[in-house]
Amino acid sequence: MKTPNLLRVVAIVVITALSLTFFSACEDKEENPLIGEWVSITENYAYGDTIVFTSDGKIEKWAGLTYNPVDSSYTPAKYKVSNSTIDITKGGQTLSFKYSINNSDLTIYRLGYAFTLLAIERQNITFKRIK
């Protein structure tokens, strides 16, 4: 009679372990859809320039966000994503932008000229994913 009870205990332990493994593997992880390399397809603003969103929250390659004309240095801007908004920080200034992704196209609304002192209306910039 001890063998059936031992089998039940082992079966319960195995089922419990499998259940815990299954539910911990189903943890809701939000994937950042911006991560990767994109090329600008906006004809009248930086056409062909690339922008790279890294998994550690940096923006690289996009001259408008990484180049400092005062000292000719390159420093990655930083970004945070929540819902359909991206917060971009460059040189201590943080601005929020709406964005949308349609297939392999990313549009960031009113990004163009946002970090300049020029009195030019901001433009929507559309990018195509390349990596």
The full set of domain ranges for the chain reads 36-129
Spatial neighbors of 112 by CB under 8 A, at least 6 apart, are: 42, 45, 46, 64, 122, 123, 124, 125
Q: What is the pLDDT of residue 27?
A: 47
For residue 36, list its beta bridge partners.
Answer: 53
pLDDT at 34 over 50: yes
CB burial class (10 A; 0-12, 13-18, 19+) of residue 10? exposed
Q: Give the separation between CA 66 and CA 78, rounded to whole angstroms.
A: 10
State pLDDT tens for residues 45-58.
888 889 999 999 99
pTM across the whole model: 0.71
Which single residue is written with the structure tokens 């549009």?
107
State pLDDT tens for residues 68-124.
766 667 788 999 999 899 999 988 889 999 999 999 999 999 998 888 877 788 999
